[in-house]
């Protein structure tokens, strides 16, 4: 008999802000970063990222990113991976 693991929570952070230059990823003002949220899986994070990216399409310097938090932290132990 095989056991299937319950859906594992894979946290993702979506954030963005205005960049100083189109060639880099240095933000113009760190105090004004838009922290969209933390999501339990990539699909929901991608949906949030896409909505924010489309809403700011008129500003070429505005960029949003998805950070794979689950790769940085082991939720089982609460320790860095």
Residue 54: give its domain's CATH number: 3.30.70.2400
Nearest to 64 by CA among 42, 46, 49, 44: 49
Does the pTM surpass 0.85? The reply is: no
Q: Which domain holds residue 31?
A: 12-37+45-80
State the pLDDT confidence band at 81, using cuts at 50, 70 and 90.
low
pLDDT tens digits along 8-38: 789 999 999 999 999 999 999 999 999 999 9
61 contact partners, CB below 8 Å, separation of at least 6: 18, 19, 20, 21, 22, 28
- The count of other CB atoms within 10 Å of the CB of residue 4 is 5
- The number of distinct structural domains making up the chain is 1
* pLDDT attached to residue 1: 40
pLDDT tens digits along 30-79: 999 999 999 999 999 999 999 999 999 999 999 999 999 988 876 566 66
Is there a domain that residue 3 lies in? no
* pLDDT attached to residue 58: 95
* pLDDT attached to residue 72: 86
């Amino acid at each position: 008999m095989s056991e299937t693991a319950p859906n594992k929570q894979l946290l993702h952070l979506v954030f963005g802000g205005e960049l100083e230059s189109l060639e880099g990823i240095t933000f113009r003002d760190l105090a004004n970063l838009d922290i969209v949220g933390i999501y339990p899986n990539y699909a929901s994070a991608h949906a949030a990222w896409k909505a924010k990216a489309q809403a700011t399409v008129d500003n070429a310097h505005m960029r949003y990113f998805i950070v794979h938090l689950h790769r940085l932290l082991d939720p089982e132990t609460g320790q860095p991976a």
